[in-house]
Chains A and B, each alone.
Chain A
């Protein structure tokens, strides 16, 4: 029944109210029905992307392209939809990843990894009014700085680039890897740093104490 309802298309019932099954049935139906459903999906993605990217005027000229590209990605991944959310929410999440990956690529394409990671560091003294906490913080930062030198060059490069705001998609492009592998690389680096601090007696509680609001 639901497929039959979807078969009557967006003119009969707004796609905003389609069930997950109606969306999947319509997109897989082939022919005119699939074309109508795809057009409805693109409209929905375009509207969502306009809301998501409203604060990024530089993105607005690209929203149609993002919606089209996202729809193709979604259609190729329909079998991965587990129906544990609305189909439209799942599709929107994919569209946002597509759009943000592309926006990040456009913004960072002329920035080299070296330019990001080799910029100078300025050490500023702690201004904590509590001398004990100020000392603990200074020791903690010195320990962390030292532990950073024990990371591999690749780990350190990835971590520093992330801290300086370089998107993961751009770091992966420079390092010749993928987003999940990069995540593992930096996760391993964070665990190693955390372990090194713990070996020096710096625990989560110490970090919380140093950073608690004054």
Chain B
């Protein structure tokens, strides 16, 4: 189960973004709609939304869903 050089590099970058305390995917989903609207308004993130941002930096599946949410609500949320 050895990793190749590219994967080891990816893992190192992932470790650099790893925090001692992180929220899980369910907590991310619970906050993602507020996160999206706060981001669209350009408002500052509170601590919980900073945790969402960090989670998105280490969770590929939640990040993919976040990008899809932006595509889905973009026109509506900005109206």
Contacts and interface: CB of A to CB of B under 8 A. Distances in A.
A93 interface: yes
Given A48-B73, A89-B77, A168 B15 contact: no
Contact of B65 (A88, A100, A121, A194): A100
Instruction: Report which residue of A84, A179, A187 has the largest number of chain B beta carbons within 10 angstroms of its beta carbon.
Output: A187
Nearest to A17: B79
A85 B33 contact: yes
Q: Is the interface of B mostly helix, strand, loop or mixed?
A: helix
A163 interface: yes
Nearest to B7: A163
B18 to A, nearest CB: 4
Contacts of B64: 100
Interface residues of B, number: 44
A49 interface: yes
A106 interface: no
A157 B15 CA distance: 17
A154 B6 CA distance: 22
A144 interface: yes
B24 A54 contact: no
Contacts of B25: 168, 179-180, 183
Contact of A93 (B3, B33, B76): B33
A92 to B, nearest CB: 5
A182 B13 CA distance: 20
A96 B3 CA distance: 31
A97 B11 CA distance: 25
A120 B6 CA distance: 13
Interface string A201-214: 00010011011000
B59 A193 contact: no
Contacts of A211: 9, 12-13, 16
A144 B8 CA distance: 7
Instruction: Report which residue of B8, B12, B59, B69 has the largest number of chain A beta carbons within 10 angstroms of its beta carbon.
Output: B12
Instruction: Report which residue of A118, A120, A160, A165 has the largest number of chain B beta carbons within 10 angstroms of its beta carbon.
Output: A160
B63 to A, nearest CB: 11
B65 A97 contact: yes
B32 to A, nearest CB: 5
Q: Which 4 A-B pairs have the closest CB atoms?
A: A48-B72, A85-B33, A52-B68, A121-B2
26 contacts: A16-B76, A48-B76, A51-B72, A52-B68, A54-B71, A86-B37, A88-B73, A89-B73, A93-B29, A93-B65, A95-B72, A97-B29, A117-B1, A123-B4, A140-B12, A141-B5, A144-B8, A159-B11, A164-B7, A168-B59, A179-B25, A179-B26, A180-B25, A190-B15, A193-B11, A211-B16
